[in-house]
Amino acid sequence: MTELSSIDSASRDPWVPRPTRILRRKQETSDTFTLWLGVGEGGAPFAPGQFNMLYVFGVGEAAISISGDPDVAAPLVHTIRAVGTVTGRMQELKRGATIGVRGPYGNGWPIAEAKGKDVLIVGGGLGIAPLRPVIYFVLRHRSLFGRVTLLFGARSPSALVFRSELEVWRRRTDITTQVIVDHAARDWTGPVGVVPALIDSVPIDASKTIAMVCGPELMMRFTARSLLRRGLSAGDVFVSLERNMKCALGFCGHCQYRETFLCRDGPVVRLDRVESIFDRREV
């Protein structure tokens, strides 16, 4: 039997998590929080769009997208919503506690393909978290891309995640940032409604735009429909899908979306690959 105590010792067993320490935590909204995990000198390099399996000792694992800056190898940043047993317990962990990490897994957003083109990033709810790494990259390498548009939707102003960053992005003049909420009180002067409303009105050159969409599946479906109505082809639209994930290794079979193992050939999927099943029930 092998004892694994160092987080940098590469275990040959892909089932075994590496222990990491919570260096910092921040409560973003009532049920969403960000963790900064210590990953040692080598850092934890990743491609924007990838995820890790995060393990709470004795409770279980959850597949969580990496939400940090891809050009910053350490610490490892995750933004998590407490929706179940594992993530609920994770929300209770304090600074200094240990979380197991396996990964990174999955493919990433099509950054290379987007170079030289207009980039349209659409995030709904916590969907902004897997998109934040690609936003960081695009903003740092701004000249590589054409027009950059960020569109975000949330339930209400208080549910917005990364509010201070949204303000920073909004102030930049070299990108367009719009935020829409499902409903709001009097004091909100921004748009109210659903993300497709923003897509219907924002300037888009459909001949050279790559769209990256992440959020609840229903939101992605309607968003995709709006994007196609604006003239984008399904080959230019990328969505990040989510299914039950247990192993993230392509063994357990849970994350299959027809022929796609989302842990391996996803979670980022080009729309034209799944178009025929995207609005089908119970696939």
Partner 1 sequence: MFAERRHGAFFVCERAVGRRVILSRDRFGALLGALAADGYTLVGPTVRDGAIVHARIRGIEDLPEGWGEVQEAGMYRLRKRDDRALFGYAVGPRSWKESFFVPTLQLWRAHRQDGTFVVLEGARGAAPLALIGARSCDLHGVAIQDKVFRDGAFSDPDYEARRRGTFVVAVQCGQSGGTCFCVSMGTGPESTEGFDIALTEILDERGHRFVAEIGTERGLKFVEAVGFEPADDADVETALRIVAKTAGEMGRTLDTGGIRDLLYRNLEHPRWAEVADRCLACTSCTLVCPTCFCSSVEDKTDIDGEHAERTRRWDSCFTMDHSYVHGGSVRASIRSRYRQWLTHKLASWIDQFGSSGCVGCGRCITWCPVGIDITEEVAAIRATDGA
Partner 2 sequence: MTVEELTTLLRDHEFLTGLDETDATQLASCVRSAHFAEGEFLMREGERSSYFYLIRTGRVALESNVPGKGVLQMESIGPGDVVGLSWPLPPYRVHIDARAVVPTETLAFDATRLREVMEGDHDLGYALMTRLYEKALRRLERVRLQRLDVYTAS
Contact in structure between 127 and 100 (CB atoms under 8 Å): no
- Based on the number of CB atoms within 10 Å of its own CB, is 171 exposed (0-12), middle (13-18) or buried (19 or more)? exposed
Nearer Cβ to partner 1 (140/258): 258
Q: Smallest distance, Å, CB 219 to partner 2? A: 5
Which residue in the set 18, 81, 117, 230 belongs to the binding site for partner 2 (CB under 8 A)?
A: 81
Which residue in the set 2, 30, 143, 189 belongs to the binding site for partner 2 (CB under 8 A)?
A: 189
Applying the rule CB under 8 A, the residues between 88 and 147 that interact with partner 2 are 124-125
The torsion defined by the Cα of 88, 49, 272 and 242, in degrees rounded to 10, comes to -10
Which residue in the set 158, 207, 233, 276 belongs to the binding site for partner 1 (CB under 8 A)?
A: 276
Binding region for partner 1 (CB under 8 A) out of 27-35, 127-135, 204-212, 241-249: 241-249
Closest listed residue to residue 179, CA positions, set 190, 171, 169, 168? 190
Which residue in the set 242, 266, 267, 269 belongs to the binding site for partner 1 (CB under 8 A)?
A: 242
Alpha-carbon distance of 86 to 105, in angstroms, equals: 19
- Based on the number of CB atoms within 10 Å of its own CB, is 91 exposed (0-12), middle (13-18) or buried (19 or more)? middle
Q: Smallest distance, Å, CB 182 to partner 2? A: 5
What SS3 class is residue 267?
coil
| Residues engaged in binding partner 2 (CB under 8 A) | 31, 81, 83, 124-125, 153-155, 159, 180, 182-186, 188-194, 196-197, 200-201, 215-216, 218-219, 222
